[in-house]
Amino acid sequence: MPVITVANPKGGAGKSTATLVLATSLAQQGASVVILDCDPNRAIEGWRAGDSKNPVIVDGGINESSITSKLDEYRKKFQFVFVDLEGTASRLMSRALARAQLVVIPIQASPPDAELAARAIHLIQEEEQAFEKTIPYRILFTRTSPAIATKLERQITSQLSASDVPMFHNHLNERSAYKAMFFYQRDLNELDPGDVNGLPAARDNAFRLAEELVNLVIDARAAA
Amino acid sequence: MSGKNLGFGGKLANITPDSEDPAKISDAKIDEVGERHGFVAREPVQKLTRRKPSEPSANLNIRPPVTTFNRFLVFCEQNRMSYPEALKELMDRAGV
């Protein structure tokens, strides 16, 4: 059960940040993890070019024609294969969704993010029907305040709940530490508390989210 | 590794790489479903050309005996080579 596709056709929803936070957290806990960086901006490949000792592997040379064979290769070698995609409705995203064993759909608490997440969900549902397989997916709220939910966030959450759209219980909160990971090219444990505010809270948030993901993967495997 | 360990290391051991191939789904079928939802190819299409990038060329006019000419022509025909390609091949083989 290792292929986890992180997708939302909307740009800026937090896909690369969520991918990096989850993948580095799992790798730091001892899991074997590879990230397929399919975003042409190559944000995660750029992160890997730094001097982080985190053992996560990053493969940046992925395109439409190579994604299928890469997934088939990596799923047999690693406990977790993360696919980070560009924020656009692309054939590459469609292929990565169809072959996912879990889809993480990050959204900020804003209508455009939620609307485009719905497009991804519609595609997942049709792929499930067309290929007679279950593709579990979860909405992940990103950049939310850890202290208080905005009215908009509550309204979007209630709409999603009313439509039975599954959501991560934990959010990926707005934390400067997540941006600092890209700036200093380190994982959360390697960042210096002197350089970054709120580091303990960010680490705690990342661990709880990673734990929820691990439980989901175990449940999905049991259901399969 | 100074981060808070929430103790899911044990659970991680339950997650293993896949041992079996997944059910085969053709890319063409996925693309068909994707296109109905507006998930289309975004990668730029590169025009391929059969002509190989080459260095500048020069003329070489020669008048060999007909027997030599015939041998050369048969070699070119059999190996489906142009005259310049065949000349290079023969010189490569001769170590010239």
Residue B94 within a domain: yes
B50: tokens are 């059969």
pTM of the predicted model as reported, rounded to 2 decimal places: 0.81
Has residue B1 got a pLDDT over 60?
Answer: no
pLDDT of residue B8: 64
A213: tokens are 């993901």
The answer to whether B24 contacts chain A (CB < 8 Å) is: no
Mark yes or no for CB contact B15/A127 under 8 Å: no
Residue B48 within a domain: no
Residue B44 within a domain: no
Residue B96 within a domain: yes
pLDDT tens-digit map of A67-117: 999 999 999 999 999 999 999 899 999 999 999 999 999 999 998 999 899
Domain count along chain B: 1
Q: In terms of C-beta density within 10 A (0-12 exposed, 13-18 middle, 19 or more buried), how is residue A72 classed? A: middle
Residue B81 within a domain: yes
Nearest-Cα residue of chain B relative to residue A80 = B17
Residue B74 within a domain: yes
- % of chain A surpassing 70 pLDDT: 99
pLDDT of residue B2: 44
pLDDT tens-digit map of B38-58: 999 888 888 888 887 778 889
pLDDT tens-digit map of B45-92: 888 888 877 788 899 999 999 999 999 999 999 999 999 999 999 999
Cβ atoms of A83 and A130 within 8 Å: the answer is no
Which among B4, B12, B37 has the least Cβ separation from residue A126?
A: B37
Cα–Cα distance, A113 to A152 (Å, whole number): 12
pLDDT tens-digit map of A43-76: 999 999 999 999 999 999 888 889 999 999 999 9
B95: tokens are 């170590």
The range of the structural domain enclosing residue B84 comes to 64-96
Residue B16 within a domain: no
Checking ipTM against 0.85, whether it exceeds it is no
Which residue would you say has higher pLDDT here, B10 or A151? A151
Has residue A148 got a pLDDT over 80?
Answer: yes
Mark yes or no for CB contact A207/B19 under 8 Å: no
pLDDT tens-digit map of A154-207: 999 999 999 999 999 999 999 999 999 999 999 999 999 999 999 999 999 999
Mark yes or no for CB contact A89/B6 under 8 Å: no
Q: Tell me which of B33, B35, B36, B48 to substitute to probe the interface with A (most A C-beta atoms closer than 10 Å).
A: B33
The answer to whether B48 contacts chain A (CB < 8 Å) is: no
Cβ atoms of A64 and A91 within 8 Å: the answer is yes
Residue B1 within a domain: no
- What is chain A's mean pLDDT, rounded? 92
Cα–Cα distance, A18 to A84 (Å, whole number): 9
The answer to whether B26 contacts chain A (CB < 8 Å) is: no
Q: Please state, as a whole number, how many other Cβ atoms lie within 10 Å of the Cβ of residue A130.
A: 15
